[in-house]
Amino acid sequence: MRYDKAVIVAWAAEKDSSMDRDIWSGLTVFAQIVEAGSFAGAAKRMGVSASALSHAMRALEARLDIRLLNRTTRSLAPTDAGEVLLARLQPAMASVEHVLGELDSVRSRPVGRVRVNAHKPAAAYLILPRLPVFSRDHPDVSIDLTVDDGLVDIVAERFDCGVRHEQALQGDMISVRISNPLTLIFVASPAYLDLHGHPDNPEDLHRHRCISYRHATSGALHRWEFEHNGVRTERAVPASFVTNDVDIMHDAALAGLGICCLLLEQAEAHVRSGDLVEIMPGWAPALPPCHLYYSSKRQPTTAFRAFLEAMRKF
């Protein structure tokens, strides 16, 4: 749930227009801290310093003359009074937020910010190329794009949506396909191939140096996949260079560190120029289509709906 200042101020005005608005700003901070589980987590969400939130909480507790949080160096939790306060406030906040969402839906012009979390290939080759037209058509919408190759809880991290392959989607989400399958290609530099020779098939890779990817969330080394004549297989390969960044993999292949599996979009310009050479043609698999996903429990804003429609076009 979002605890925007506007939501709390609106609720405050409805309940008692004479109330000190600073109290409601403080309650925003209080709710964010409890939801995030820490001052640092809430500060990251709100884009302010943890010390500023600590000051705001002290001011709120002094104004109300009651302690709302029990905090130590190791833990943080609401007091009994804090629990009672949150239990009464949260339904009202949710109700007002729902009303604000309905008001937003009747706007004729999308306005606001859309926060997106996407893995690097989707960010670079799916989202970014569509943004110039989107920005031209919707100048009052700003995009906040976080590139993250790990698995992310977009609700807890307060993103409007995420972009991943379908098998990586969170439960209880609405997903929309935004791409075709992504073509992969095996490549190496001419210098590497002059020194080590050309592999003809995956069986030959045991005598080669390979550039491999380490998954950001699990830390596991990616097993290479192959597809030939409709048969898909996977295997571990000798990993002479490992990274968790697909752009570094691309740079390592250009530097002659070994054989690499890249997106066609990453490699095709270098293949045309001769800086990279395609190897094992007919053995590269395709990645599943990318999906944009968002919470089924959240009221989409007009800005988000406009962004979603732009991403559908492929």
Question: Can you give 59-121 as a three-state secondary structure string?
Answer: HHHHHHCCCCEEECCCCEEECHHHHHHHHHHHHHHHHHHHHHHHHHHCCCCCCEEEEEEECHH
* DSSP 8-state code for residue 259: B
CA distance 213 to 287: 15
Nearest Cα to Cα of residue 148 among 23, 41, 245, 264: 245
Return the ∠ at Cα 212 (arms to 210 and 215), rounded to 5°.
Answer: 170
Phi and psi for 209 in degrees, rounded to 5?
A: -100, 130
| Amino acid (one-letter) located at 150 | G
Contact 35, 2 (CB under 8 A): no
Structure tokens at 24: 């409601």
How far from 229 is each of 59, 118, 185, 188, 236, CA to CA, in Å? 69, 32, 16, 23, 21
**pLDDT 10s digit of each residue in the chain, 314 long?**
444 444 444 444 444 444 566 677 788 888 888 888 888 888 888 878 888 888 889 988 988 888 999 987 777 889 999 898 888 877 777 776 666 666 665 566 899 999 999 999 999 999 999 999 999 999 999 999 999 988 888 988 889 999 998 766 767 789 999 999 999 999 999 999 999 999 999 999 999 999 999 998 888 999 999 999 989 999 989 999 999 999 999 999 999 999 999 999 999 999 999 999 999 999 999 999 999 999 988 778 899 999 999 999 88
* Superfamily of chain region 112-181+289-312: Periplasmic binding protein-like II (3.40.190.10)
Are 112-181+289-312 and 183-287 the same fold in CATH?
yes
The domain 183-287 having CATH identifier 3.40.190.290: the answer here is yes
pTM across the whole model? 0.69
Q: Which CATH architecture has domain 5-105?
A: Orthogonal Bundle (1.10)
Domain locations along the chain: 5-105, 112-181+289-312, 183-287
